[in-house]
Amino acid sequence: MSHSDIASEREITARAVNSFAHTPDARLRFLLQKLVGHLHNFASEVELGEAEWFQAIQFLTATGQKCDDVVRQEFILLSDVLGLSMLVDAIEHRNGAEATESTVFGPFYISGMPDREYGENMALIPGNASLITGCVRDITGKPLAGATLDVWQTAENGQYSGQDVTQPHGNLRGRYHTDEHGRYAIRSVVPVSYPIPTDGPVGQLLDATGRHPWRPAHLHFMLDAPGHKRLVTHVFNDDDPYIDSDAVFGVKDSLRVVYQPRGASDPLASQFDIGTDFHLASFDFVLDTTA
């Protein structure tokens, strides 16, 4: 490449960056100038060809076309498998050292799910019974009574209710509340690992790059308490085969929990009317105060 080629490429980049110099909103100006600069540097560095550029345009077009208004958001899925969602999560929660760590929201949350009693079973189809209990506290250790835990998980077929329309409404979803001691108890089935949707461009990307689509088994939580920051996180099954290779990079060591086997004669089985052998997990949450 000649010196004049390099100079003219730099000139194109400089002109494109400068074209945003009069953006009235300072943050928008900063974001766009950085974006264009990095994008141009990337193209120059990898010597992006026209055919490759067009393939990228087609890939992004197909990503948009795969989205719908209700359940499918292929761009978020793309951000997830590129690790961008977890990077943004880390930036957003810088300096939040004392609170429970957050992780990806994921595309399968549904609002307005049933309120559930302390210890109520949210598995409307019987399965490998589980009980998860713990306490919600503030960063000083004070238990938070009346906190809401909105939870969701897949069925044993690896699909969420809503995504899998054959499951009853509200299956494996619900809004639990802490008691006067800040405690919660959720009856359910032991979460299983499942693949993220692979029938779109993101699936093709994973395929072309030899990556698997699996997420380690987890239970999703969204916690709210007055005067405290909302926490969106998961609790992961510690022994899952995909715990070290989550397709969306969501695992944090502090969010791993062991489901311990307990017999049907365990006192907790009668307290929570379980009636079979089950698995017990314990996990405490800490919520940050609102700034």
Pattern 81-120, Fe ion, x by CB under 5 A: -------------------------x--------------
CB of 191 to Fe ion, least distance (A): 8
CB of 251 to Fe ion, least distance (A): 12
As measured in angstroms, the least distance from the Cβ of 261 to ligand BEZ is 25
Torsion, Cα of 167, 168, 173, 177 (10° steps):
-160
Toward Fe ion, which CB reaches closer, 172 or 287? 172
| CA–CA separation, 37 and 222 (whole Å) | 37
Contacts of 38 (CB under 8 A, 6+ apart): none
- Which residue number has the CB closest to Fe ion? 106
What is the C-alpha to C-alpha distance for residues 157 and 123, in angstroms, rounded to an integer? 13
Q: Which residues have a Cβ under 8 Å from the Cβ of 187 and sit 6 or more positions away?
A: 119, 120, 121, 122, 123, 129, 130, 131, 272, 274
Q: What is the rounded distance in angstroms from the CA atom of residue 152 to the CA atom of residue 112?
A: 12
Residue 240's binding partner among ligand BEZ, Fe ion, none (Cβ under 5 to 8 angstroms by kind) is: none
Q: How far apart are CA 260 and CA 190, in angstroms?
A: 10
C-beta of 196 vs 281, nearer to ligand BEZ: 196
Taking the complex as a whole, the smallest distance from the CB of residue 218 to Fe ion amounts, in Å, to 6
Contact partner, 286, from Fe ion, ligand BEZ, none, Cβ < 5-8 Å per class: none
Site for Fe ion (CB under 5 A): how many residues? 1
Which residues of this protein are in contact with ligand BEZ, per CB under 6 A?
77, 80, 104, 106-108, 196, 215, 248
Q: Judged by CB, which is closer to Fe ion: 106, or 182?
A: 106
DSSP state for residue 25 in the 8-state scheme: S
